[in-house]
Amino acid sequence: MDDKVIQLQSLTKRFPVGNGYFTALTDINLELQKGEFAGLVGPSGSGKTTLLNIIGSLDVPSEGTATVLGNSIAQLSQKQAAHLRNHHIGFIFQTYNLLPVYTVYENVEFALLLQNMSANDRRKSVMQALEWVGLTDKEKSKPSMLSGGECQRVAIARSMVKKPQIVLADEPTANLDSKNSHHILQTMQTLNEELGVTFVFSTHDEKVMQYLKRKISLADGRVVKDETVMADSV
Amino acid sequence: MVAFKLAYRNLIGAGLRTWLNVSVLSFAFVLIIFYNGMIDGWNRQGRNDTQEWEVANGQYWHPDYDKLDVYSIKDANQELGEQVDELVKAGQLLPVLIQQATIYPQGRMQSILLKGVPTDQIILKLPTDSLQGDKNSLQAIIGRRMAKTAQLKVNDRVLLRWRDKNGTFDAREITITSIFYCDVPGADNGQIYIDYEKMQDMMGFNNRATLLVTANEEPEVLAGWDFKNLDFLLAELDQMIESKKGGGIVLQGVLLLIALLAIFDTQVLSIFRRQKEIGTYVALGLTRNQVVGIFTIEGGMHSVLAALLGAVYGIPFFLWLDTVGLSFGGLDVGITMAEVIYPYYSLGLILSTTLLVVLAATVVSYLPARKIARMNPTEALKGKIQ
């Protein structure tokens, strides 16, 4: 059985700037297997977020192919891409991106609403996801009432509640202190190990790097190093 | 359904901003229903009163009679004939003889229309039984407007001068036996009612009438008489109502525009301020068109909440108004208008107003929301204004 969940071949991404183009990614070739805990590491402007966006079907490559769970990203219609994101890909953002007027419960429930799941099943799934991140007692709180660490845990629960095959985390610890960073990384590590979900990080945070099992280093839009490491025990 | 649920959550979650918009829109909503309800109430009362006091279910006119042409009145009368006589006896027709005359109240001279009406009639609301008193004197009834302009009171006597069928002047004192209160200027202004039979004697017109008022809802054809239906007889009132409605539309339009502008403004601001949220929706699995849908429904839902809020204070207000009416203090606008108008709210009025407000709110919500369809979700996620 083919366990490749992400395949990138000769991927290049350019953005129009003025009369010309800015090349954000050049000739990227990568494969990620199911259950990996990998990180795209590199300084700001190296193309990490752009690559995550393409993998997450929020953007398309200018050249080359990006195949995610057997779907060629460039070939997907808006609807197919939305379906892929809704069912199979979870996102975690640096600034949490929680919906401010929703409660913790409603934020986590959001993706399931789009799947037309029954209210009972939704409730079970949301409470399970909140249990994974230790926030069952905050289900009725609004994001404005939570700490940064708690917000990011809600974002993890939101990304995990639909039991996706891939979770894309863009600088998930950038706004967190050390204690909270370790807490959420441990949570993600546990979910990766227990549920077999593939995690792909974009980061330049040393704390995250300690947990990664694979580090893909980017510089100026190119992969400069791709190494498999044993995560330090934390 | 999901879009409605999400839109509802967003709307309620927005708190005060939502309720401010909803309040303004609900005010416009209630005012539109109030204004149109008053106009419709006026129309219904006006038509009803005009029928009760002046035209019943229609009139048969002498072919030469033109109520706007005083020169047509003198000779515009004819014999009733056998068929009409029978209908008059059966109480289905009311003959009215009209001639010009002059009165001299307090030494002044005033032209009037003298109308002869059978005293035992029950087709019109005119209190003609007040004309059944002393056979030797000439009794008359007038309306409040006529009483005011001629400065006449009950039991006042005033000299009446007229010309008979041969053009000979004659004069006699009349006694005002009753002043009736009606909202129909056409049955009141410049008019004096006397006994039909006495008027025939005075004028030398035997068994003749200028017009016939019918009580029948389905009038028959009478040879030599032109039938005027309610559409014709109430055309003046209808035109006035239409012009009032037209004027009202401008006022309602301005008010609705202010409310819609608030929604439009909120939508535009939302789309600028909620870029990150829009990006998040897309990342969570909505297409951009679905997000456009959510924002449109969210804006349109203002109107639904406005209708509900409007119902909360509008229904008690309308019920109260329906009981006490709105007094215009006997305002004389030249056409039928009750002193107290009771509004009339039809289901059609409420449904059409609701539809108008919901459609308008949805359209103004959709216009700015279209921008979302062109947004780049990766830029939106960063909260960058595009």
Say whether B10 and A79 touch across the interface (CB within 8 A).
Answer: no
Smallest Cα distance from A33 to chain B, Å: 22
The tens-digit pLDDT sequence of chain B (386 residues) is: 778 888 888 888 778 888 888 898 898 889 888 988 888 888 888 889 999 999 999 999 999 999 888 888 989 999 998 999 999 999 999 999 999 999 999 889 999 999 999 999 999 999 999 998 777 789 999 999 999 999 999 999 999 999 998 889 999 999 999 999 988 888 999 999 999 999 999 999 999 999 999 998 887 888 899 999 999 999 988 888 888 888 878 887 888 888 888 888 888 888 888 888 889 999 999 998 899 999 899 888 888 999 999 999 999 999 999 898 888 776 666 667 777 888 888 898 889 888 988 898 899 888 888 888 888 888 888 876 66
Q: Write the single-letter amino acid at A72.
A: S
Residue B2 is nearest to which of A50, A91, A113, comparing CB atoms?
A113
Q: pLDDT digits over A94-134, tens only?
A: 889 998 888 999 999 998 988 888 999 999 999 999 998 88
Smallest Cα distance from B286 to chain A, Å: 6
Q: pLDDT digits over B237-269, tens only?
A: 888 888 888 887 888 788 888 888 888 888 888
ipTM of the complex: 0.91
Contacts of A110 in chain B (CB under 8 A): 6, 284
Question: Given a cut of 60, is residue A210 above it in pLDDT?
Answer: yes
Whole-number pLDDT of residue A59? 94
Task: With 0.90 as the threshold, say if the pTM is over it.
Answer: no
Whole-number pLDDT of residue A15? 92
Mutate to test the interface with B, among A76, A84, A93, A99 (most CBs of B within 10 A): A99
Question: If you count residue pairs, one on A and one on B, with CB atoms under 8 Å apart, how many are there?
Answer: 68
Whole-number pLDDT of residue A46? 93
Distance CA B15, CA B103 (A): 71
Q: Is A102 helix (H, G, I), strand (E, B) or coil?
A: coil
Say whether A82 and B276 touch across the interface (CB within 8 A).
Answer: no
Residue B378 is nearest to which of A58, A113, A114, comparing CB atoms?
A58
Residue B283 is nearest to which of A50, A78, A91, comparing CB atoms?
A91
Q: What's the token pair of residue A120?
A: 């009972």
Say whether A99 and B288 touch across the interface (CB within 8 A).
Answer: no
Smallest Cα distance from B20 to chain A, Å: 17
Contacts of B5 in chain A (CB under 8 A): 113
Residue B344's closest CA among B46, B39, B37, B45? Answer: B37
Whole-number pLDDT of residue B20? 87
* Sheet of A89-92, strands arranged across: A89-92, A166-170, A198-203, A37-41, A214-219, A222-228
For chain A, what is the mean pLDDT? 91
Distance CA B42, CA B35 (A): 11
Tell me how many degrees the CA angle B262-B267-B269 measures, rounded to the nearest 5: 95
